[in-house]
Amino acid sequence: MRRPIVAGNWKLNGTLDDAEELVVALKNLVKDVEKVDIIIAPPFTVLSIISALLIGTNIKLAAQNMYFENSGAYTGEVSPVMLKDVGCEYVILGHSERRGYFAETSDIVNKKIKSAFANDLTPIMCIGESLEQREADLTFNVIETQLKEGLGGLENELAKNVIVAYEPIWAIGTGKTATKEQAQEVHAFIRGKLNDFFGKDVANAVRILYGGSVKPENVDELMSQKDIDGSLVGGASLKAESFARIVKFQ
Looking at the annotation, which residues are catalytic? 95, 167
What does the alpha-carbon distance between residue 134 and residue 142 come to, in Å, rounded to a whole number?
Answer: 9
Q: Is residue 173 close enough to count as binding ligand PGA by CB under 6 A?
A: yes
Q: What angle do CA 210, 190, 193 make, to 5 degrees?
A: 165
Q: Is residue 167 close enough to count as binding ligand PGA by CB under 6 A?
A: yes
Q: Is residue 242 close enough to count as binding ligand PGA by CB under 6 A?
A: no
What does the alpha-carbon distance between residue 198 and residue 41 come to, in Å, rounded to a whole number?
Answer: 28
Q: Is residue 232 close enough to count as binding ligand PGA by CB under 6 A?
A: yes
Q: Which is nearer to ligand PGA, 31 or 176 (CB)?
A: 176
**Choice from 124, 227, 234, 242 touching ligand PGA (CB under 6 A):** 234
Residues 37-96 contacting ligand PGA, CB under 6 A: none
What does the alpha-carbon distance between residue 93 and residue 36 come to, in Å, rounded to a whole number?
Answer: 21
What does the alpha-carbon distance between residue 205 and residue 23 come to, in Å, rounded to a whole number?
Answer: 30
What does the alpha-carbon distance between residue 189 and residue 140 come to, in Å, rounded to a whole number?
Answer: 8
Q: Which is nearer to ligand PGA, 130 or 195 (CB)?
A: 130
Q: How many CB atoms lie within 10 A of CB 189?
A: 17
Binding pattern to ligand PGA, positions 124-163, x when CB under 6 A? ----------------------------------------
**Choice from 10, 134, 235, 247 touching ligand PGA (CB under 6 A):** 235
**Choice from 39, 47, 108, 172 touching ligand PGA (CB under 6 A):** 172
At 41, give phi and psi (nearest 5°).
Answer: -120, 85
Angle between helices 16-29 and 44-54 (to 10 degrees): 40
Residues forming contacts to ligand PGA in the complex (CB under 6 A) are 9, 167, 172-173, 211-214, 232-236
